[in-house]
Amino acid sequence: MERAGGGLTMDPDNWRDMRGTYPAFLTTDFLGANSYDASAALTGLNGITSLPQGPLTIGLPAAAYPNIKLGTIPLPPNLSTQAVANPFHRGYIESWNLSVERDLGAGFAGTVSYVGTHEVRQMSNVNINAAAPGTGKAGCLLYPLNTTCNINEDYPFASSMYSGLQTQVMHRAGAAQIGVVYTYSHAMDYGDNSTYNGLVFAYPTYWSRDRADAGYDRPHNFQAWTVYELPFGKGRRFVSTGAASKILGGWQFNNILSAASGTPFTVQASNSILNAPGNTEVANQVLSTVAKPGAIGPGQLWFNTSAFATPASGTFGNVGRNSMRGPGFFEWDTGLFRDFTFSEKYTLQFRAESIAVTNTPIFGNPGNTIGSSTFGQITSTAVSANGVNTGGGNRVIRLALKLSF
């Protein structure tokens, strides 16, 4: 059997960032005087500067509100805000797939599919007040009208793509099911998670350098599972009668095995070297290839840190976004279930589950900033690959009873 399909969908972003637009949203911090300097001006989280305040017994100072009767409300130069592009041309997502399914005989069925998506004008959170390398705050695009170097705009920006070859083999025999899935894929974008994240290279001249492997890209993804009802009890092959039949019958045993490639990361340097507010400094790669010893733990190198160096002052390094990749993962989850029925109204289900049976750690990416004490070292674990937070692959055992009526 062959199947094919395609679709066109508008970008679903809901403009949630507009909750933080000036003057619809204002915050002010009133900070008490301190022993270091009782008269110096202090800056709150939103950039509003105020003098240290007295005790609560004298009350809170009057809040400063913009004059909304003017028709247009100018943004004070020392405040940041969230904006929306004008004109705004909402993006769209193209998707397509082609699948071929075949009976392989002996109860096996196989499927091979190609799946692709392409988003045009993907929503991104672009800092439209970022500075050019080496220019400091004075180089911000809206300076001196705004001095924050931090005005973010929901912007239908650039594109993203995903291409995947998906294969699956399944076998069913009575109460047993076995399945294996393998996906070889590639995802690219300019920034992950739509408006939740910004750009690494935010100054417009360097936007093209943001195009790289997506932060969630995992080229190889292998999954295998089994669902097996144990062959005991009434109507089964073994122990079909007597008290033992009632005790051993009805149990179901499940397994899920997961393994995948690691995710990309960017090798960075200190932003003070770049001197370009709103951007992220990247390192210089000084060797043609980067050796990867693959060691894990404090003092052990996942990659050769000598392959990278600090760039010249006021310049971007030559490393691309997400040019390196961290460790992959392996996880085996299993479960044992049984339903006990009492009359026609009540069912009690017993569940025994173990996540990460082998207790195999799922490690995070290595330290990625030149000069940090953990540069090139993996010193932490990550969230479990199947979405369950197990503390980075630590074994978790759960026992549960569920009553249905």
Token digits of residue 102: 């075949």
Highest mean pLDDT of the ranges 70-74, 192-196, 366-370: 366-370
For residue 277, how many other CB atoms are within 10 A of its CB?
Answer: 21
**What residue numbers bound the domain in which 303 lies?**
2-15+90-404
- 140 in a domain, yes or no? yes
Collapsed DSSP state (helix, strand, coil) of residue 157? strand
Q: Tens digits of per-residue pLDDT, 48-86? A: 444 555 666 777 677 677 887 877 888 888 888 888 888
Collapsed DSSP state (helix, strand, coil) of residue 126? strand
| Residue 8 pLDDT | 96
Domains of the chain: total: 1
CA distances from 257 to 104, 145, 179, 345 (A): 23, 56, 10, 36
- 372 in a domain, yes or no? yes
Residue of higher predicted confidence among 282 and 36: 282
| Residue 180 pLDDT | 97
Collapsed DSSP state (helix, strand, coil) of residue 218? coil
Q: How far is CA 338 from the centre of its chain?
A: 36
- 270 in a domain, yes or no? yes
Average pLDDT over residues 357-370: 93
Token digits of residue 29: 């911090």
Segments of 92-142 assigned E as strands: 92-105, 108-127
| Residue 34 pLDDT | 54
Distance CA 297, CA 366 (A): 9
| Residue 283 pLDDT | 97
**22 residue type, one letter:** Y
Q: Give the DSSP H/E element, type plus range, for residue 228.
A: strand 220-229
- 29 in a domain, yes or no? no
- 69 in a domain, yes or no? no
